[in-house]
């Protein structure tokens, strides 16, 4: 409506259309900041008026409040991320809101250089990349809250707390394959979305901790009769078994 009515709003804004605000993933927001964007604005339909049964605008709202707390944790001003709800006919409010947001972001200054931020570019990039790697783990750990639909928007202020986010990153779970229990069935290696499991036929599997995204898929799919995958939290992951010791020698069946 704003475009059809030829309304003027901040020229710094770059619009990206999506079918639903629920389609805006946490990874997309972090990627924008990783690429140097100073602020991210998300506009969605009014709560309770979603065109889809999934009510994606609630998903977007939950994601924004989670992301704002994560931004605060890594030293970014959470005011750089904003979400507002409006209808397609709200051209004038849209133009006013995005112009005000653009003005607010300008006052904050360049990303990482604003008041109370003071993060150099390399350090900021490293922090965002680390968080991006942990997105699958974050979604699993906070899946219940991310799926919630609080009726009162004011309740969202306490949906995620700073202490909760600090604990989330402090107690990041890692996964380890016990070489004594691994039977080289290849199930975890085939299902790993990050291709972080090294192994093959008759080879004990090993998780590449640098590639692992902490999603827990390996733990879920490992056959219960083997139980080779364990979750490690709050302590170092045991070192991988040496390459030359990974071959499994199977006993041939007697005829």
Name the one residue in this structure whose structure tokens are 């008026």. Answer: 49
Same domain, 44 and 104: yes
Main-chain dihedrals φ then ψ at residue 84, nearest 5 degrees: -135, 150
Same domain, 112 and 149: yes
- Examine residue 16 and state whether it is found in any structural domain, yes or no: no
Same domain, 80 and 136: yes
Same domain, 26 and 135: yes
63 near 44, Cβ under 8 Å? no
Pairing of strands 174-177, 229-232: antiparallel
- Examine residue 53 and state whether it is found in any structural domain, yes or no: yes
Q: Give the CATH number, domain containing residue 218.
A: 3.30.70.20
Same domain, 126 and 190: no
∠ CA 224-136-62, rounded to 5°: 125
DSSP 247: B
Same domain, 165 and 183: no
Residue 151: per-residue pLDDT: 76
- Examine residue 5 and state whether it is found in any structural domain, yes or no: no
Same domain, 229 and 136: no
Phi-psi group of 116: left, alpha or beta (phi > 0 → left; psi -120 to 50 → alpha; rest → beta): left
Q: Which residues of the chain have pLDDT under 70?
A: 1-9, 252-255
87 near 18, Cβ under 8 Å? no
Same domain, 39 and 67: yes
Answer with the one of 170, 203, 234 that is the final residue of a domain: 170
Same domain, 185 and 221: yes
Same domain, 194 and 133: no
- Examine residue 2 and state whether it is found in any structural domain, yes or no: no
C-alpha distance from residue 57 to each of 23, 68, 89, 113 (Å): 9, 16, 17, 31
pTM of the predicted model over 0.75: yes
Domain count within the chain: 2
- Examine residue 4 and state whether it is found in any structural domain, yes or no: no
- Examine residue 205 and state whether it is found in any structural domain, yes or no: yes
Count of alpha carbons within 13 Å of 199, Cβ hemisphere only? 29
- Examine residue 12 and state whether it is found in any structural domain, yes or no: no
226 near 183, Cβ under 8 Å? yes
CB atoms within 10 A of CB 23: 14
Cα separation of 212 and 199, whole Å? 14
∠ CA 222-223-225, rounded to 5°: 135
CB atoms within 10 A of CB 50: 19
* Residue span of the structural domain in which 236 resides: 174-245
Answer with the one of 155, 170, 185 that is the final residue of a domain: 170
Residue 114: per-residue pLDDT: 78
Instruction: List pLDDT tens digits, range 36-71.
Output: 999 999 999 988 888 888 889 999 999 999 999 999
Instruction: List pLDDT tens digits, range 20-41.
Output: 999 999 999 999 999 999 999 9
Answer with the one of 126, 148, 170 that is the final residue of a domain: 170
- Examine residue 1 and state whether it is found in any structural domain, yes or no: no
Residue 75: per-residue pLDDT: 93
Same domain, 59 and 156: yes
Same domain, 26 and 95: yes
C-alpha distance from residue 195 to each of 180, 184, 222 (Å): 22, 15, 15
186 near 221, Cβ under 8 Å? no
């Amino acid at each position: 409506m704003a475009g059809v009515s030829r309304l003027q709003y901040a020229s710094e804004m770059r619009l990206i259309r999506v079918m639903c605000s629920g389609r805006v993933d946490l990874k997309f927001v972090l990627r924008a900041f990783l690429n140097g964007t100073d602020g991210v604005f998300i506009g969605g339909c009014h709560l309770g008026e979603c065109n889809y049964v999934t009510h994606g605008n609630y998903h977007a709202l939950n994601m924004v409040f989670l992301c704002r707390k994560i931004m605060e944790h890594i030293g970014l001003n959470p005011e750089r991320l904003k979400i507002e709800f409006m209808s397609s006919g709200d051209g004038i409010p849209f133009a006013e809101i995005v112009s005000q947001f653009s003005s607010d972001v300008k006052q904050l200054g360049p990303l990482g250089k604003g008041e109370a931020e003071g993060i150099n570019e390399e350090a900021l990039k490293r922090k965002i990349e680390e968080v991006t790697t942990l997105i699958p783990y974050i979604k699993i750990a906070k899946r219940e809250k991310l799926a919630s639909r609080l009726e009162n928007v004011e309740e969202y202020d306490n949906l995620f707390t700073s202490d909760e986010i600090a604990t989330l990153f402090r107690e990041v779970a890692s996964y380890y394959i016990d070489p004594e229990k691994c039977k080289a069935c290849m199930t975890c290696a085939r299902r790993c979305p990050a291709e972080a499991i090294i192994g093959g036929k008759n080879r004990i599997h090993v998780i590449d901790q640098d590639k692992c995204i902490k999603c827990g898929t390996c733990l879920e799919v490992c056959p219960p009769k083997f139980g080779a995958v364990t979750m490690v939290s709050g302590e170092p992951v045991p070192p991988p078994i040496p390459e030359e010791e990974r071959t499994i020698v199977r006993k041939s069946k007697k005829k």
